[in-house]
Amino acid sequence: MLFGNEVINTERLTVPHYDMKNRGFMLWPLFEIAPGLVFPDGETLRQILHTRAFDKLNKW
């Protein structure tokens, strides 16, 4: 998903994950462990979760 602030685009690897900002199931758990996360493009995890409609995940 992420590797620090690295941006990697090769034939076999894309970091950050190309669509992770649109996947609540990836973002909510990440928010639990890193609520202050800033993506390499400067957008914060908190901003993404605030501006997009994601259903909060239910824990089993």
Please state the domain extents for the chain.
Answer: 8-52
What residue type is assigned to position 51 of the chain? Answer: T
What residue type is assigned to position 4 of the chain? Answer: G
- In the prediction, which pLDDT does 52 show? 82
**Who contacts 19 (Cβ-Cβ below 8 Å, separation ≥6)?**
none
**Who contacts 17 (Cβ-Cβ below 8 Å, separation ≥6)?**
1, 2, 23, 26
- In the prediction, which pLDDT does 36 show? 97
- pTM value? 0.78
CB 37 within 8 A of CB 44: yes
* Interval 12-30: pLDDT, tens: 999 999 999 999 889 999 9
Average pLDDT for 21-49:
94
Per-residue tokens: 20: 């992770």
Q: Helix or strand or coil: residue 55?
A: coil
